[in-house]
Chain A
Amino acid sequence: MKEYDVVVIGAGHAGCEAALASARMGCSTLLLTLNVDHVALMPCNPSIGGPAKGHIVREIDALGGQMGRNIDKSYVNIMMLNTSKGPAVHALRAQADKPTYQSEMIRTLEAEENLDLKQDVVTELLVENQEVTGVKTITGMSYQAPKVVLTTGTSLNGKVIIGDVKYTGGRQGEFAATHLADSLKDAGIELDKFQTATPPRIDQQTVDFSGMRIHPGSEEKLQFSFFQDRAEREQKPCWVTHTNERTKEVIESNIEDSPLSTGIVEGEGPRYCPSIDRKIMRFPEKTSHQVFVEPEGMDTNELYLNGLTTSMPEELQVKIIQSVPGLEEAEIMRPGYAVQYDAIPTYQLNSTMENKRVKGLYTAGQINATSGYEEAAAQGLMAGINAVLSLRDQDPLILKRSDAYIGVLIDDLVNENPKEPYRMLTSRAEYRLLLRQDNADLRLSEIGYDLGLLSDEEYQQVRKKDTAITDTMQYLDNNRITPTKEVRATLKDLNSGGLKKPVSLATILARPELDYQDLNLLVDDLPEVKPEIAEQIEIETKYRGYIEKQMRQVEKFKKMEKKKLPEDIDYSELETLRTEAREKLDKIRPVSLGQASRIPGVSPADISALMIYLETYKQDADDEEEE
C-alpha cells in the first residue's frame, strides 16, 4: 500500500490549493480526483474576485497560494469595482478563460515535485479509533496517510435537477460520491442537505448584441498577484441586457413547473444567487432584472447568462431566454440546472479546518457549507497548511478576524453553522478598513514566507515595500512646508485651500484633493516611490483617523480573544447560562470568550456569566496549585 504524508480528495479549487500547499511545504502529497480533465473546473460563473472575494484571492496570494497567479494567466476581462466607495472595498474582478484557467492549474500541479495527481474515485475513508489512516478507491486501491483533506465540492450524494428530471451526479457530467458519503456517516460525521444552481449557457453566434450595453475590461493594467509581473492579456467584453414583462409572464404562468413549487430540490440554496424564478416571485413589483452576458473563454462560443439562473424544464428555459432583448434567437448549449448535495454542518469543524470527530481529517470548500471558488480556495489553502503543521507537531495557523478575510470566513463557519451555502461579503468583516485588498501582502506575506510558501525573493519584495512606506511616511511627518507666496500659489493651482502656518507634508497630503505626486510641486526632494507605495501612503495619511479608530476596535477585540476558556468546561453544569447558550457552547466549544460572544444564541448576559465562571475557575485552579 502506498504511503503519503497527505492525501487530498478532489482537485477543485479547495483541493488544488490544499495539495499545492502541502507539497510546497515539503510533504509527499497525493491529489485524487474524479476526472483529471476537470481539475480546477469552474462549474458556475466564469469569474474570480469581486467584493470580498477579490480580497480573499489577494490574501491567498500573499500566503503563497495559487489562485491569484492562475487567474492572472487566464483572464479575458479584468476590472476594479467599487472605486468610488472607499479604498477598503475596492474590488478586483476578472472573467476567466475557463479552459486556460484549468490547463494552467494542471500544469502547476504537474510541475510540483512532491505532488502526485491521479484520477480515481474515493469510496472510503479509512479510520481507526476516530483517527484517519488513509483512503480507499473504487478500483480497490488504498493509500495510507496520517492526514486527509476532503474537498469533494457538491459531489457527496449529489443529484442534478432540471425540471422534473433528477439524476445522480456531482455536477453536470460528473459522478456523485455516494459511497464516500456513507463512509463519512460511518465515521460519525453528520451531513446536511444544501443546494445551488447555475444558469444556462448559450451560443454566441445566436445573440444580437446591438441593443446591449457593453462592459469592456479595464484599460489600466491590473493583476491579482503581488509577485509575478504578468503581461497584459487580450480582453473580451461582457454585455448587459434586461428581462422584461414577458419574462415575468413566462415565469409566472409556468411557476408550477419551478422547483420553487414542485419542491423537487432539497436543502437550502444561497440567497445571493437566487434563481430568476425566485427573484420574480419575491419581488413581483420589479419588472426588469439585469442579465450579464459573459464569455466562458477566449476561444469558445459559449456565453454565460449571469442573472438567469434556473432549473426549470429546458423548454421553459428557452422561452425565458428568448423573452430577453438580444436573446430572441438564442440557442442553449447547456441548460441551467440545480444540484443538491450533502455538506458537513460546520459545528463539526475546528478553526484549523480539522474535523472534530475524526482526527487527521480536514475539510475545505463547498463541503463545509460554503459556496464560491475563492472561499473554497482559501479554505483549501488553510486546510493544507494546517494538515502539514499538525503532522509536524507545530502550532496551527489560525488567522484572526482582524488579520484577514480568511480569518473572518473560518471564524464565521466555526461559530455560525450556516443554514445556506456561505458566501463572503465585505460586510462580514468588521475591521475591513484594515483588511484591504491593497495591503494583503503587507499583512500576510510574512506568514507565507515562514511556512515556505513564498520564496526569498518574493518576501524581500514585500519587505522592501514595507520599508519604503515607513521611510516615506517618516519623511512626510518630519518635513514641513511654510506658507510662502509660491506655496500658496501652487496650492491654488492644485485647487486646494490656503495655508496659514507651517504644516507637515503628511498634513497637506491628508487633503482629499491632493495626491502624492502633487507634493513634487511643493518640495524638491520628495522620495520617488512606486505607485503601489504612493497608494499606501495616501490611504494612511488621508484616512488616518478612521484607521486609528479601527485599530482601537481591534485592540478591544483581541482582549476578548485572549480570555481563554478551559477545554474541559462542562457547560451543562453551568446553571447561570441560559439553556440555549449551554447547548450552543457545548456543541461549538469556543476557545475564547471572544469566540463565545460570536456564537448566535449566546447573549451578552451569558458572556457575563461565563466571565464570572472564569474568575472562580481561576481561583479554584490557583487553590489547587497551592495544595
Chain B
Amino acid sequence: MYSNDTIAAIATAVGESGIGIIRISGPEAIAITNQVFEPKQDKDLNEVESYTAHYGHIVEEEQVVDEVITLVMKEPKTYTKEDVVEINCHGGTVVLRKILDLILNQGARLAEPGEFTKRAFLNGRIDLAQAEAVADLIQSKTEASMEVALDQLEGGLSDQVNDIRQDLIALLAHLEATIDFPEDEIEDFQSEELGARIDTVQQKIDDLLATSERGKILKEGVEAAIVGRPNVGKSSLLNALVREKRAIVTDIPGTTRDVIEEVINIDGIPVKIIDTAGIRNAENQIEKIGVEKSEEYLTKAELILLVVDISDGITDEDKRLMRDAQNKEVVVIANKLDLEHQLELEKIKEILPEAAIVKTAAIANQGINELEDAIANLVYSGKINAQEETMVSSLRHKKALERAKENVSDVKSTWEQGLPNDFLTIDLRAALEAVNEITGDAVGEDIIDQIFADFCLGK
C-alpha cells in the first residue's frame, strides 16, 4: 500500500540523451535535494519560489559530482500535485546513477515504474486514459510510439472516446425520453434516422479500433523475418541494417540463447528482426538456415523481408517462398540486380503483385535507405496517418471498445428486427458502460441530465 513518502527516479531513458534528469516527488523532495545541492548563489532551496531554476553543483563530501540545474516546483500545481524537484545534469549513466544514489541515501525511495503517474492519477491530476498513456510512454521505445502516447496524454483518445460516449448518451436520452414521458410531444425517432445514428456510432468505434492495430505496432514493434534461400545475402543485409541503425534493444534475457531479437528503429517504428543465436559471432549462421526454417519464420512474422539473388534468376525455391508470403506484408529485396535480369522482376510481380521491390546491387553499401523507406511505407500505409491520428494502444481500451462494438451491433440487429424501442436501450446501455470503462465515468445521472437538456419535458 502506498504512503505519501518521497520518491525519486531517473526520468530520462538511460543512455539515450545528452542530459539526464532525476525527478523527485513528495513532501521531502525539496529538503532532500537541499542536502546534496550546492547552489552557485548562496541560497536555501527550502525558501525559493515555486517554478524557479537554480544553477549549482551536486556534491558528495565536498566533492563536486556534476554541474546541474535544479528545478523546484511546489505542490499543488505540479504533475503529481506534490512538491517536485528535477535535477538536470550532463552526466551519462554513471553520473546519473551516482546522483540518484545520493538522493536515495538522504531518505527518498526509488520510485516504481510509473509511480509518478500513479500519484498524479490518485491525486486527481489526470484521468485513467491519460494515466495509461503515460504508462505507454514509459515503455515506448521509439519516437513514433512516444507521439501516440503523448497524444493520448493530451486527451486525444479521451476526446474521441468521449465523442462516442456523447453519441450513445444522446441516443439513449432520446429513446428514454419518449419512454419516460410518453405524453410529452417528443418526436419519436424515425426508423431510418435511428438506424443511421446507430451506424454512425458503429463507424466511429470501428475507426478507433482500426487504429489499435497500429497502436500495438508502434508500441510493441513489427515482427519481421528475413527469409530467402541460402547464400542470397541475408546476413549482410541484417548486418547492414543493424550497423546503420544502432540496435536499441538487444537480446531477450531468458532461458534460451537460440533466439535473439534485434530491434531496429526505422522512422520511429521498432522493427524486431527474429534471428537465431550468434549472428554476429558466426557471420554465416543465418545463411545456413534453409528454406524450411525460412518457411517457419514466414508464418510467424508480420513483415517479410524476402531476399532473392537475381543473378541466379528466380528459382523454384524462391517461388515457393514467395507463394508462402502471399498474404503477408512483403518487401522483396532483389539482390545483384542488373539490366540483363530486369525480366526476372516480372516473375516476382506475378506471384507478389502488391509487394514492394527494392533493388540492390550490393546490399552492404546500397539500397538500405530504400529498404527502410519501403518498410516504413508498408507500416504507415493505408488510411492511417501516424502523425495526426489518435490511437488505441492499450489492450484494456481495445477490449472495452470491442465490447462496445459488439453491443452496438446487437443494437443494430434489434433495430433490424423491428423490436420496440425499449429493447434498443439494453445494448446501448451496455455499450455506454463499456466506453465508460475507458473514461472512468459512471452511467448514473448522465442520461437523465441529457434528457432534460435536450427536451422540454414535464407537465
Contacts and interface: CB of A to CB of B under 8 A. Distances in A.
A605 B122 contact: yes
Interface stretch (B211-219, B220-228, B442-450): B442-450
A604 interface: yes
B2 A425 contact: no
Given A274-B458, A309-B459, A616-B1, A576 B182 contact: no
B96 to A, nearest CB: 30
Contacts of A274: 456-458
Contact of B459 (A273, A432, A433): A273
A31 interface: no
B343 interface: no
Contacts of A609: 122
Interface string B165-199: 00000001000101111111100000000000000
Contacts of A86: 419-423
A579 interface: yes
Q: Which of B122, B178, B444, B458 has the most CB of A within 10 A?
A: B458
Interface string A125-140: 0000000000000000
A82 B121 CA distance: 45
Contacts of A84: 420
Given A88-B422, A273-B459, A597-B442, A576 B176 contact: no
Contact of B448 (A85, A428, A577, A612): A428
A358 B172 CA distance: 41
B325 interface: no
A564 to B, nearest CB: 20
Contacts of B4: 575
A272 B457 contact: yes
B124 interface: yes
A309 B457 CA distance: 13
Interface residues of A, number: 57
Interface string B286-299: 00000000000000
A306 interface: yes
A546 B423 contact: yes
A578 B122 contact: yes
Given A283-B456, A428-B448, A290 B180 contact: no
Nearest to A415: B444
A375 to B, nearest CB: 14
Interface in B398-439: 417-423, 425-427, 429-430, 437
B180 A81 contact: no
Interface residues of B, number: 45
Contacts of B430: 553
B117 to A, nearest CB: 12
B200 interface: no
Contact of B176 (A279, A425, A579): A425
Given A433-B426, A576-B122, A81 B458 contact: no
Given A575-B4, A604-B440, A290 B421 contact: no
B51 interface: no
B379 interface: no
A248 to B, nearest CB: 13
B255 interface: no
A426 B179 contact: yes
Contacts of B172: 427
A86 B414 CA distance: 12
Contacts of B447: 427
A289 B456 contact: yes
B182 A271 contact: no
A290 B459 contact: yes
B274 to A, nearest CB: 37
B180 A426 contact: yes
B23 to A, nearest CB: 21
A427 to B, nearest CB: 4
A544 interface: no
B451 A580 contact: no
Contacts of B178: 85
B71 to A, nearest CB: 26
A221 interface: no
Contact of A427 (B2, B179, B185): B179
A578 B444 CA distance: 19
6 contacts: A85-B179, A89-B422, A282-B456, A283-B456, A427-B425, A576-B2
Closest 4 CB pairs of A and B: A86-B422, A86-B420, A427-B176, A272-B458
